[in-house]
């Protein structure tokens, strides 16, 4: 287990689409374990592999509350099959420290992926889980939350990140 460095915007690897995983093996299982530990250490709810500099189509999500047991969901080679409705929710991102912005997403998604056992599964999600799946899936495609907002919100995100950096060094 290792907590890895999370890349922050505008790092080039965040814009690079990830490659499919050929085989779910011990190396991939170790990567997923590291991703979970990294996400928990940063107090996030989701993390894509390219956020830690690994260009593999993998992301993890855990929406369990502080008083609930961990519920890490692993998505390897995910593919969104269906998207319906719309919702807008304030999103944050570990690669945009301190930034939060309302982003319009589908209200319901159906996704197919491989689990840690290498077997395919499908999941239908709504609400925060649907948002998290879309957000992390965007990451592995090289799409960032800043791409989903207009110019005023982009400037706001830049100011929020600058403030967070200033507070971190104070």
For 72-96, what is the mean pLDDT?
97
Residue 86 belongs to domain spanning: 12-169
Whether the predicted pLDDT of 6 surpasses 90: yes
Does 123 fall in a domain? yes
In a domain, 75, yes or no: yes
99 within a domain of the structure (yes/no): yes
Please, what is the Cα angle at 146 between 43 and 80, to 5 degrees?
Answer: 75
We report the CATH number of the domain holding residue 160 as 3.90.45.10
pTM for the model stands at 0.95
Instruction: Tally the C-alpha atoms within 13 A of residue 122's C-alpha that lie toward its C-beta.
Output: 6
Which letter, b or e, does each residue of 96-127 get, where b requires 16 or more Cβ atoms within 10 Å of its Cβ? bbbbebebebbbbbbbebbeeeeeeeebebee
pLDDT tens-digit series, residues 26-66? 999 999 999 999 999 999 999 999 999 999 999 999 999 88
Is residue 136 annotated as part of the catalytic site, yes or no? yes
Question: Which of 37, 66, 91, 136 is flagged as catalytic?
Answer: 136
The verdict on residue 4 lying in a domain is no
What's phi and psi for 108, nearest 5 deg? -135, 135
The residue written with tokens 């499919």 in the block is 20
pLDDT tens string 96-107: 999 999 999 999
Strands 73-84 and 58-61: what pairing? antiparallel
User: Is residue 6 one of the residues assigned to a domain?
Assistant: no
Q: How many domains does the chain have?
A: 1
- For residue 3, tell me if it sits in a domain: no
Q: Strand 73-84 to strand 46-48: parallel, antiparallel, or no bridges (unpaired)? A: unpaired
Chain centroid offset of residue 80 CA: 14
pLDDT of residue 164: 86
> Are residues 142 and 15 in contact, defined by beta-carbon separation less than 8 angstroms?
yes
Does any domain span residue 7?
A: no
Q: Domain for residue 121, yes or no?
A: yes
């Amino acid at each position: 287990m290792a907590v890895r460095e999370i890349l922050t915007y505008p790092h080039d690897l965040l814009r690079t689409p990830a490659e499919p995983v050929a085989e779910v093996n011990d190396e991939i299982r170790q990567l997923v374990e590291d991703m979970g530990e990294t996400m928990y250490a940063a107090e996030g709810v989701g993390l894509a592999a390219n956020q830690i500099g690994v260009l593999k189509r993998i992301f993890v999500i855990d929406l369990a509350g502080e008083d609930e047991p961990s519920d890490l969901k692993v998505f390897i080679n995910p593919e969104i099959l269906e998207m319906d409705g719309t919702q807008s929710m304030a999103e944050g991102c570990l690669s945009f420290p301190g930034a939060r912005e309302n982003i319009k997403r589908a209200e319901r998604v159906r996704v197919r992926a491989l689990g840690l056992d290498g077997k395919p599964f499908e999941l239908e999600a709504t609400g925060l889980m649907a948002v998290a799946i879309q957000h992390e899936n965007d990451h592995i495609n090289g799409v960032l939350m800043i791409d989903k907002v207009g110019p005023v919100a982009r400037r706001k995100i830049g100011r929020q990140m600058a403030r967070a950096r200033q507070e971190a060094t104070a």
